[in-house]
Amino acid sequence: MTQQPQPIGTTGASPPVVGESAHEPSSPRPTGAAPAVAGRSPARMAWERLGRDRVSLVAAGISVIFVVVAIIAPLLTAITGWGPITPDNKAIDPNSGNYPLGSFGGVSFNHLLGVEPGTGYDLFARVVYGLRTSLVVGFSSAVISTVLGAVLGMAAGYFGSWIDSVLSRVMDIFLAFPQLLFIIALTPVIQAALQTNEHGGTNENLRLLVLVINIAAFAWAYTARLVRGQVLSLREREFIDAAKIMGAGWGHILFRQLLPNLWAPLLISFALAVPQNITTEAALSYLGVGVVPPNPDWGALLSDASQFFLQDPAYLFIPGDLLLILVLAFNLLGDGVRDALDPRANRS
């Protein structure tokens, strides 16, 4: 049978089979009584490895800061006094095309990151609320796609035969489908379906949900392929045979035997999916099919900023750099998690 192709989105490393990790030698104790060798679980060891990795800690810290800022966004805008859709007509010059007054795009004590050209919205407020969207969509879609991928991947790998054929073909179809076109095509349908009243309002939360499902729907196949490959090798192992002999049903085998051995690759898959999904969400908004204005979103901000780039470069660089740092931090964290979970010294 063909070797399973590695899914895109991971760095191609096959995840470790955790049951084989070697115990680390305990560090020498200074004095006294005979040293007690404490057994540590793989999770504990991974955690400690992560703790020793300074770069990952910094990345984790930055990620936490972003999350906290996103959570307290309403508090922050209450402090500054400018919400994300409250325009400041005095900060822009209508005769010049609603350009921000002042330098760096209107940075001042009143507007910490300046003002958006064209509308006069406070950029700080737009950025922190846009961060919310990015994080919510990024995390939720990663959770859904990981869970869905895990379940279907396990089913395909464990049951084999026609279930595997069907599921594999379904995965192939999802992987071959041009995701972007599909989402662009569906946007007007979604828009119409989400309309809450006949005067054009849409339920923003529902729209976010649809976006999350859209992204997750195309991402699960990667996780599923990965899990399927793992399960294919795991199911020949003796502990599975032992469980079968003892009369365990497939439910028990899948969720109590196989799944615990899969948590490492799943965690890695999840950790790397988050920045990937944040990027996808920003790209969709950049193309105009993600979040609809005037709701703030980083991709939409960048798309708008590219129009005003020569006149107000700060408008591009501020969200652009922040998005870079956000994705970078999560990527670093994901790498750190992967290195921590992989006992092979070579890879770290």
Residue 327 engages other proteins in binding (rule: CB under 8 A): yes
Shortest Å distance, C-beta 286 to other proteins: 6
The answer to whether the CB of 299 falls within 8 A of the CB of 279 is no
Residue 233 engages other proteins in binding (rule: CB under 8 A): no
Main-chain phi, psi angles of 318, to 5 degrees = -65, -60
| Angle at alpha carbon of residue 158, lines to 9 and 148, rounded to 5° | 45
- Give residue for tokens 């406070």: 122
Helices (H), 246-313: 250-252, 259-286, 298-307
Which residues, 56 to 95, sit near other proteins by CB under 8 A? 85, 87, 89, 92-95
Q: Is the peptide bond before 294 cis (omega within 30 degrees of 0)?
A: yes
**Which of 84, 100, 117, 153 contacts other proteins by CB under 8 A?**
117
Contacts of 273 (CB under 8 A, 6+ apart): 9, 141, 142, 145, 146, 219, 223
Residue 316 engages other proteins in binding (rule: CB under 8 A): yes
**Which of 19, 61, 260, 294 contacts other proteins by CB under 8 A?**
294
Residue 205 engages other proteins in binding (rule: CB under 8 A): no
Kindly tell me which of 51 and 97 has the beta carbon lying closer to other proteins. Answer: 97
At residue 242, what is the residue type?
A
Shortest Å distance, C-beta 294 to other proteins: 6
Kindly tell me which of 100 and 258 has the beta carbon lying closer to other proteins. Answer: 100
Which residues, 257 to 286, sit near other proteins by CB under 8 A? 275, 279, 282-283, 286
How many C-beta neighbours within 10 Å does residue 89 have?
A: 10
Kindly tell me which of 31 and 95 has the beta carbon lying closer to other proteins. Answer: 95
Residue 141 engages other proteins in binding (rule: CB under 8 A): no
Residue 45 engages other proteins in binding (rule: CB under 8 A): no
Kindly tell me which of 14 and 80 has the beta carbon lying closer to other proteins. Answer: 14
State CA 143 to chain mean position distance: 8
Contact region with other proteins (CB under 8 A), list: 8-16, 44-52, 100-108, 137-145: 8-16
**Which of 184, 194, 243, 259 contacts other proteins by CB under 8 A?**
184
Kindly tell me which of 69 and 184 has the beta carbon lying closer to other proteins. Answer: 184
Contact region with other proteins (CB under 8 A), list: 18-26, 143-151, 250-258, 328-336: 328-336
Main-chain phi, psi angles of 335, to 5 degrees = -60, -45
Two tokens at 195?
């309309």
**Which of 11, 103, 203, 233 contacts other proteins by CB under 8 A?**
11
| Best CA proximity match to 128, nearest among 343, 340, 301, 268 | 301
Kindly tell me which of 24 and 172 has the beta carbon lying closer to other proteins. Answer: 172
**Which of 35, 81, 201, 260 contacts other proteins by CB under 8 A?**
201
- Give residue for tokens 């085998």: 253
For residues 347 and 242, give the distance between their C-alpha atoms in angstroms, rounded to a whole number.
33
Contact region with other proteins (CB under 8 A), list: 132-140, 188-196, 212-220, 242-250: 188-196
Strands (DSSP E) found in the chain: 92-93, 99-100
- Terminal-residue alpha carbon distance, the chain: 32
Residue 115 engages other proteins in binding (rule: CB under 8 A): no
